[in-house]
């Protein structure tokens, strides 16, 4: 649950910062940027957790 909460907070933060950076009043670019960053974070988490499994 903590991992989901952290990812959602980061997604919201990315969206807000991208909204201020792009500054066009449109929501499409910040939303697309935040979604790409969210997918990148999830992919990195999945890749890191892949190598942590042992048979011990």
Quick one: tokens of 29? 């670019």
Q: Enumerate residues 6+ apart whose C-beta is below 8 A from 35.
A: none
* Encoded tokens for 11: 């997604």
Report how far residue 36's alpha carbon sits from residue 5's, in angstroms, rounded to the nearest whole number.
18
Mean pLDDT per 10-residue run, the chain (56 residues)? 78 90 83 90 83 64
Q: Which residues of 46-56 are buried (b: 16+ CB within 10 A; e: fewer)?
A: eeeeeeeeeee
Model pLDDT, residue 35: 92
Whether this prediction's pTM lies above 0.85 is answered by: no
Q: Quick one: which of 1, 2, 7, 5 has its CA closest to 44?
A: 7
């Amino acid at each position: 649950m903590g991992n989901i909460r952290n990812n959602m907070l980061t997604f919201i933060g990315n969206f807000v910062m991208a909204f201020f950076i792009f500054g066009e009043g449109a929501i499409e670019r910040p939303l697309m940027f935040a979604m790409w960053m969210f997918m990148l974070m999830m992919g990195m988490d999945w890749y890191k957790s892949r190598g942590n499994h042992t048979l011990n």
